[in-house]
Amino acid sequence: MKTNYDAIIIGGGITGLALAFNMAKAKFGDILILEKELFVGSGATAKCAGGIRAQFSSKVNIEVSIKAIEVFEHFEEITGEPALYDQVGYTFLLTDETTVESYTKAFELQKSLGLDVRMLSPEDVSELAPPVRTDDIIKATFCPRDGLGDPHEFLQGYFRASKSLGVEILTETPVTGVLVTGGKVTGVKTPTGEFSSPLVINAAGPFAKLIGEMVGAKVHVEPYRRQIVTSGQLNFIPDTMPMVVDVSSGLYCHRESKGLLMGWADDSVEPGFDESQDPDYNDNILMKALDRIPRLETAEVANSWAGLYETTPDHNAIIGFADEVAGFFIIGGFSGHGFMHAPGAAIIATEMIAGQKTSIDISRLAPNRFVEGSIEKEVNVI
Ligand SMILES: Cc1cc2nc3c(=O)[nH]c(=O)nc-3n(C[C@H](O)[C@H](O)[C@H](O)COP(=O)(O)OP(=O)(O)OC[C@H]3O[C@@H](n4cnc5c(N)ncnc54)[C@H](O)[C@@H]3O)c2cc1C
């Protein structure tokens, strides 16, 4: 069995696979992905709502989104694998002056970076999303380039494309230790043996902090449980309805199959790896949804699940080499926007790993920014 690689990626989620594909395309050398579960894509990626948007409040997140959206729009051309990006857009409903002010500021920044964002009236919202109650809406932002993608489809696309470029992937192989000699990473330990490499990449999603601890690197990522509920078939959700985000309540919803997917981030949840469902959490989602879409009164619940957000203190990703040990690279902490950012983040990370100047300035995503104490939070988080 081959045990010597140029790069080892820990984690076979959308991040690890997108990165492996880009590194392989850049002819980085022999790449191994190690995934602890039976299948790739069993982590946060499997729980994702599939939202893709560029409507963020910070320059770096808007730019990473634009880079990622360019990939989502041309995925088959780039990877050779089909996957549908359904550009129905995202609309953020604004019902108080404070959010109008902060979203208008973000809107101006998005426009200055070349995004086609629009400010909508309540009447425009009714036209785009007819079942949505609009009586309290002051304004709404809308970007037609945003939309929805099936995380499984894109992940499988990256998986097959990576394999065809020679990336090796071992599932049911948890990394239990990272080997370090003389301040440099030399490989990883697993129950089936050791694998050596001068480059170890932490793409372990909500588990990133635990992988960091294996080399004494502080990775500022905490896992937070987040839940989703889907409805049965509904005849009043148009195919073209955008992702709707009710900023005041935190509810987000979009068409899913023939019904509606509804989610919300409960900020009272304590960090932890528990992925069991809390029924009160689901009830809260349904109440918020009913308040915004009264016609849901007759809807039935089809499914529900819980997954983990991989959250950083400023809700921005971490991309870069750790200071603590040479050859240890971190890509994670996307704080609930890792599916939409993975294709862009993977391109930039590949540039960094190759020692090139990155096509986007991502100094705000550096792993050591927290100790330097310059935290600037992303505001447009869901
Ligand atoms: C309910 C919910 C809704 C979401 N909605 C959206 C959305 O609409 N849009 C969006 O962009 N994002 C969304 N997200 C966030 C998104 O799902 C994540 O940001 C993204 O999937 C992170 O991908 P990842 O590959 O970094 O992590 P993961 O998919 O978790 O992959 C990490 C992998 O590492 C593996 N691993 C961990 N430890 C080890 C180890 N020791 N050895 C080997 N393997 C290991 C895990 O098993 C896992 O497969 C949502 C998340 C949740 C929970």
pLDDT digit string, tens, across residues 207-233: 999 999 999 999 999 999 999 999 999
Q: Is 208 in the pocket of ligand 1 (CB under 6 A)?
A: no
Residues 229 and 307 in one domain: yes
Question: What pLDDT, on a 0 to 100 scale, did the predictor assign at position 199?
Answer: 98
Q: What is the mean pLDDT of residues 101-126?
A: 98
Q: Which residues pair with 257 in a beta bridge?
A: none
φ, ψ for residue 229, nearest 5 deg:
-125, 140
Residues 304 and 170 in one domain: no
Q: What is the mean pLDDT of residues 127-149?
A: 98
Does residue 60 sit within a domain?
A: no
Question: What pLDDT, on a 0 to 100 scale, did the predictor assign at position 382?
Answer: 82
CA distance 378 to 35: 30
Question: What pLDDT, on a 0 to 100 scale, did the predictor assign at position 299?
Answer: 96
φ, ψ for residue 294, nearest 5 deg:
-55, -25
**Residue 342 pLDDT grade (very low, low, confident, very high; cuts 50, 70, 90):** very high
Q: The whole model's pTM is what? A: 0.97
Domain containing residue 342: CATH number = 3.50.50.60
Residues 227 and 239 in one domain: yes
Residues 101 and 207 in one domain: no
Does residue 82 sit within a domain?
A: no
Q: Which residues pair with 172 in a beta bridge?
A: none
Question: What pLDDT, on a 0 to 100 scale, did the predictor assign at position 375?
Answer: 74
Question: What pLDDT, on a 0 to 100 scale, did the predictor assign at position 346?
Answer: 98
Q: Is 50 in the pocket of ligand 1 (CB under 6 A)?
A: yes
Q: Is 277 in the pocket of ligand 1 (CB under 6 A)?
A: no
The CA 343 to ligand 1 mean position distance, Å, reads 14
The CA 108 to ligand 1 mean position distance, Å, reads 31
Q: Is 332 in the pocket of ligand 1 (CB under 6 A)?
A: yes
The CA 295 to ligand 1 mean position distance, Å, reads 33
Share of the chain above pLDDT 70, in %: 99
Q: Is 330 in the pocket of ligand 1 (CB under 6 A)?
A: no
Q: Are 14 and 307 in contact (CB under 8 A)?
A: no
Residues 188 and 307 in one domain: no
Picking from 291, 311, 331, the residue at the C-terminal end of a domain is 311
Picking from 276, 311, 346, the residue at the C-terminal end of a domain is 311
The CA 306 to ligand 1 mean position distance, Å, reads 12
Domain containing residue 100: CATH number = 3.30.9.10
Comparing 41-45, 115-119, 370-374, the range with the smallest average pLDDT is 370-374
Question: What pLDDT, on a 0 to 100 scale, did the predictor assign at position 374?
Answer: 66
Does residue 72 sit within a domain?
A: no
Q: Is 339 in the pocket of ligand 1 (CB under 6 A)?
A: yes
- Quote the mean pLDDT of the chain: 97
Residues 341 and 323 in one domain: yes
**Residue 338 pLDDT grade (very low, low, confident, very high; cuts 50, 70, 90):** very high
Question: What are 245-255's pLDDT values in tens digits?
Answer: 999 999 999 99
The CA 307 to ligand 1 mean position distance, Å, reads 9
Q: What is the mean pLDDT of residues 129-151?
A: 98
3-state SS class at 374: coil
Cβ-based burial of 75 (10 A; exposed 0-12, middle 13-18, buried ≥19):
buried
Does residue 70 sit within a domain?
A: no
Q: How many structural domains does the chain have? A: 2
Q: What is the mean pLDDT of residues 107-117?
A: 98
Residues 240 and 365 in one domain: no
Residues 101 and 226 in one domain: yes
Angle of CA points 22, 223, 379, to nearest 5°: 80
Question: What pLDDT, on a 0 to 100 scale, did the predictor assign at position 372?
Answer: 61
Question: From the alpha carbon of 205, which atom of ligand 1 is closest?
Answer: 27
Protein residue closest via CA to atom 48 of ligand 1? 43
Domain that holds residue 235: 90-144+222-311
Share of the chain above pLDDT 90, in %: 96
Does residue 81 sit within a domain?
A: no
Ligand 1 pocket test, pick from 90, 155, 207 with the greatest ligand atom count within 8 Å of Cβ, gives: 207
Does residue 248 sit within a domain?
A: yes
Question: What are 57-83's pLDDT values in tens digits?
Answer: 999 999 999 999 999 999 999 999 999
For 134, residues 6+ apart whose C-beta sits below 8 A from its C-beta are 122, 123, 125, 126
Protein residue closest via CA to atom 20 of ligand 1? 338
Cβ atoms within 10 Å of 355's Cβ, excluding its own:
6
Picking from 311, 326, 346, the residue at the C-terminal end of a domain is 311
**Residue 186 pLDDT grade (very low, low, confident, very high; cuts 50, 70, 90):** very high
**Residue 120 pLDDT grade (very low, low, confident, very high; cuts 50, 70, 90):** very high
Residues 237 and 295 in one domain: yes
Comparing 26-40, 139-153, 364-378, the range with the smallest average pLDDT is 364-378
Q: Output 134-139 pairs: Cβ under 8 A, ≥24 positions apart.
A: 136/95, 137/93, 137/94, 137/95, 138/94, 138/95, 138/96, 138/97, 138/100, 139/94, 139/100, 139/103
Q: Is the pLDDT of residue 373 over 70?
A: no
Does residue 73 sit within a domain?
A: no
Which is nearest to 146 in space by CA: 128, 124, 126?
128
Q: Is 12 in the pocket of ligand 1 (CB under 6 A)?
A: yes
Q: Are 205 and 338 in contact (CB under 8 A)?
A: yes
Residues 233 and 217 in one domain: no
**Residue 309 has which token pair?**
């957000």
* Alpha-helix runs per DSSP H in 80-207: 97-112, 122-128, 151-164
The CA 272 to ligand 1 mean position distance, Å, reads 14
Q: Is 247 in the pocket of ligand 1 (CB under 6 A)?
A: no
Question: What are 271-328's pLDDT values in tens digits?
Answer: 999 999 999 999 999 999 999 999 999 999 999 999 999 999 999 999 999 999 999 9
Residues 204 and 129 in one domain: no
Q: Is the pLDDT of residue 337 over 90?
A: yes
Residues 180 and 209 in one domain: yes
Calculate helix-pair angle for 14-25, 338-353, nearest 10 degrees. Answer: 40
Does residue 20 sit within a domain?
A: yes
What ranges make up the beta strands (E) of 203-327?
Answer: 222-231, 243-246, 251-256, 259-264, 301-311, 318-321
